[in-house]
Structure 1
Amino acid sequence: MGAKTETVLNISLKTHLLEILTPLTPLLPSELAIQLSPYVSDPIPQTVPYSLLQSVSQWTRTPAGLVALQTASLEPQSYSMIALLAGSVTSPERKFPAYIRAKSPEEAAALKKAERQAITSLINALLSIIGSGFAAWWAAGQTGWKNEWQVLFSLFIAAVVAISEAVLYLIWDSRRSQDRSPRKLKVSAKRRDEGEVLDVSRIEHGIPLGLRQRARRTATNDAMS
């Protein structure tokens, strides 16, 4: 069996961490002091192993470590793992994959709806192209054109319809993207909230609601119930 490779976890060596570790070096046991010495002397490295910080923190909680800290007038709380890791970055030399936020149920439903609409639009466009090409071929045949002219005419009409459908699809897709932009969604939510506040204000002042406001309020109450 091959030897297991242990993943080394490094911690960024910030200024505050260096200031905490430097006065502790002379107090540590010889073996631990030798391990820590390269990280508190010039040239200062960018990172320090997590396991080394953990060993230092564990030693400061031993009876010998507490006595040494009291003798040097150092605070034991400064050497807890929480204090040592405060403000530091885990393995800054590594490139972790970007965080991808999970879609909410509303976003997932809207995405599926948009996909269905796009598929439907593409199918309709394909049927329109085929239908227009066939209709042009049939109409050209009724006028007595030769077969090669019938084919060329039907291909021309199908190409024109295909270009038109592509332009319409691009326009529809761009408008859909604008409607789904975060700014548009925020504006829509703000208008909805303002409309609800206005309805409440009208009711409080005894002003009757219009048909549209009453219908919207009824639909909201039905959804909540």
Structure 2
Amino acid sequence: MTMSYEQARDRLLDAALNHVAFDGWSEETFRAAVADTGLDAGFARAICPRGAVDLALAYHARGDAAMLERLASEDLSDLRFRDRIAAAVRFRLEAVTDKEAVRRGASLFALPVYAADGAKAIWGTCDAIWTALGDTSEDVNWYTKRATLSAVYSSTVLYWLGDQSPEHQATWEFLDRRIDNVMQFEKFKADIRKNPLLKPLLAGPNWLAQQMRAPRRGDDLPGSLG
């Protein structure tokens, strides 16, 4: 039976997870996964040109998919929007099947050579959350929402990795505090924009912000001006 790239990658990822706790997302882990699955080494390398780095990203994407599936099945309509955001972040962390794999991934993507991959993965998670929750912004708010949530999500993950409280209760309290901080900052920004004394100073930045447009799905570029 012919195996698709996606099926083969899933098999490699499942096998790699048995080794990540000991060897991290490393070449040793990738080679062990290839050996465990019995896949041809050339075929495995074609699927994951960067070896375990690509498997680490696949593991992150698997968590995103599980989060989206849960979001689609849960009724969040009675929650305030800030609580829907908190629920989505919590669902994403609860989708993790191997905490040590995330810890090792955090170490991997902290390396300068892979930092851009890590940032892109986090941005993708936050974009998926906003999109699933019905965000329709088309201007600079598209970027600020995702950038702000990326900061909240990243700090929450780091806190969660060290959290030993029952059922990670301390993490969820930390998450609520971070979202409260964001809401306070948004209120501060709104007050600044309403201040008539500051309007002349903000004219230029406001004009530039109005020119920004959210990327169209499928575009290679992150966005556009005008």
Q: What is the TM-score normalised by the length of structure 2?
A: 0.24
Q: What is the TM-score normalised by the length of structure 1?
A: 0.24
